Structure 1
Amino acid sequence: MKIMNAIFDWSYSIIIAFTCALLINAFLFQPTRVQGSSMEPTLQNDNYLFVSKVSHTLRQLPDYSDIVIIDSRVLRERTWKDDLVDPMNTYLGMLKLVDQSADHHIWVKRIIGKPGDVLEFKDNKVFRNGIALEEPYTKELMLYSSEKKITVPEDHVFVMGDNRNNSSDSRFIGPVPINQVLGKVVLKL
């Protein structure tokens, strides 16, 4: 009988600890890892990051130049289940128990535009509301240009990688809904 009580006590403790860790990672803080070179030179492939998810939980608008993680599936409605499943997949991927590259939809990017901003891409620069951005964090001169002006819709942001010539970002997937901005990077290891 003592063995059964001990097994029950340990099982109960493990379940409580796992539930607390899952809730903390879903709604407060989450470790993640950079995959790829789209944020060079600021972030390198395999850098570990700590992300504050408080802004996502409270649906707060990020600031210009914040480095954030996003759900790149912008045409898909995000649910609370995603907030629980994504951190689990991140942990399993960091432990090399699952291959994250098969369904890599969590991206690390920089906030460039907020609702109402008009963005242009010309003369190897990004212009926000008619003013060229000073971007010392970019890797090299941006080769992308477009005749089209983009107005960031309400409840959306426009994100770009610092490695502008090697980044999938809002130039290709469009503006990102605020509820798909999953958190702000607060620490790089």
Structure 2
Amino acid sequence: MKEKKRKSELLEWTKSIVIAALLTYGIQAWLFAPIIVDGESMNPTIQNQDRMIVSKIDTPERFDIIVFHAEEDKDFIKRVIGLPGDRVEYKNDTLFINGKAYEETYLDEMKKEIKQLYGEGALLTQDFTLDSLLGYETVPENTLFVLGDNRQNSRDSRHIGFVPMEEVVGNAKLVFWPFENTGLVK
């Protein structure tokens, strides 16, 4: 009788472990994934070695921070600036999308530091148009134009070109480690 009870208990534990493993795999494959930030291109918004949760179910929108496959064995994390059909340009450290100026408050700290170091005329983001950088008037269909927040230390669309939508892993949602950086990503 004890032997039968032990086998039944072992079977129940095995089922529970298999179900938990399948749920974990399913959640990571289709809903959310943990990542570790490698590099300083998103400073000060996101720090090198921050641990994050990336949502795989959200469609990237302007100013979202996304993770995408950039190279064969490397993912990048950058901010979405241009969506398909957008005209993107920078003039005098101001972002213009389709002719409209946008404030990028997440860059205020870096702009202040640049001006303190190099003087009032110093720019965080050098002037450009999509045409001058990549030979396109607008962001092509099914692609995104992305930039790192640390504009002077970021390999982004200015260097690697547009990001195909099928290469997007997901939207960065939450920093969970280190504890002092814990919070929602903005």
1:15 Cα deviation (Å)? Answer: 3.3
Cα deviations by residue, 1:66-109 (Å, 9 ceiling, x for unpaired): 11111113xx7xxxxxxxxxxxxxxxxxxxxxxxxxx4x11111
Matching residue of 2:156? 169
The CA RMSD over aligned residues, in Å, is 2.4
| Residue of 80, 83, 89 corresponding to 1:114 | 83
Alignment partner of 1:152 out of 121, 125, 139: 139
The runs of 5 or more residues in structure 2 that have no matched partner are 112-122, 176-181
CA distance in 2, matches of 1:5, 1:107: 48
Alignment of structure 1 residues 72-87 onto 2, 5 Å = 72-73=70-71
Q: Which has the higher Rg, Structure 1 or Structure 2?
A: 2
Counterparts of 2:20 and 2:126 in 1: how far apart (Å)? Answer: 48
The answer to whether structure 1 residue 45 and structure 2 residue 48 are counterparts is yes
The TM-score with structure 2 as length reference comes to: 0.71
The one of 46, 61, 64 equivalent to 1:63 is 61
Equivalent residue in structure 2 for 1:23, among 21, 26, 33: 26
Identity %: 42
Give the structure 2 partner of residue 142 of structure 1.
124
The TM-score with structure 1 as length reference comes to: 0.70
> What's the offset of the Cα at 1:6?
6.2
Deviation, 1:11, is 4.6
The answer for unaligned runs of 5 or more in structure 1 is 77-102
